[in-house]
Chains A and B, each alone.
Chain A
Amino acid sequence: QQQVKQSPQSLIVQKGGISIINCAYENTAFDYFPWYQQFPGKGPALLIAIRPDVSEKKEGRFTISFNKSAKQFSLHIMDSQPGDSATYFCAAGNTGNQFYFGTGTSLTVIP
């Protein structure tokens, strides 16, 4: 059973555009929602994370929007750059317990 569903599988965006990746979860007990960025040949690296007590968190060009009632959260990349081209994974879980990853989104930013 897929605990976290992620879409789209792949995304192509023009430089300067907004990239949006969506995730949905089922377990209402989840209390931590990180996003990871993975470049080819590298391990995932934490990009930004949110807890359900806030609806939005922004760090530079990266914003997480969180909708607790809908059990959905999304990553927005503003002013997308070619250097943002990577695979992005959302994840969700309970603090202190296992975290479940989404299936990943391959983002390509075209110059």
Chain B
Amino acid sequence: DAMVIQNPRYQVTQFGKPVTLSCSQTLNHNVMYWYQQKSSQAPKLLFHYYDKDFNNEADTPDNFQSRRPNTSFCFLDIRSPGLGDAAMYLCATSRDRQGLTEAFFGQGTRLTVV
């Protein structure tokens, strides 16, 4: 059974049109992460939540925002998608911070910007 679920699997959006990607988890984990993975590149951490505490990476563009309304759900909002934002977006969860506990990844949402 899927434990970290991302919807949709594939998303096509227009240049500049706001888009939201969603992630839900059934693990009741404290930490939720969003990664961006471009083709043939390493996943890059955008931000993470530890419970309600939001942690933004210094080099994450302002165009990317996140919301975590409750333990189970986390959203990635891209306010004005550009062509360079086309990528796989991965959500992950962990009971505690990485290194202390294992991180579980969802299947990802592949975003296409047209």
Residue numbers of A with Cβ under 8 A of B are 4, 6, 9, 31-32, 36, 41-46, 89, 93-104
Contacts and interface: CB of A to CB of B under 8 A. Distances in A.
Interface of B is mostly: loop
B92 A43 contact: yes
A32 B99 contact: yes
Contacts of A95: 97-100
A48 to B, nearest CB: 11
Nearest to B105: A43
B43 A44 contact: yes
A32 B98 contact: yes
B57 A96 contact: no
Interface residues of B, number: 22
Interface of A is mostly: loop
A46 B102 contact: yes
Contacts of A101: 42-44
Contacts of B105: 36, 43-45
B98 A44 contact: no
Given A32-B98, A43-B90, A94-B99, A99 B42 contact: no
A66 to B, nearest CB: 15
Interface string B27-58: 00000000000001111110000000000010
A93 B98 CA distance: 9
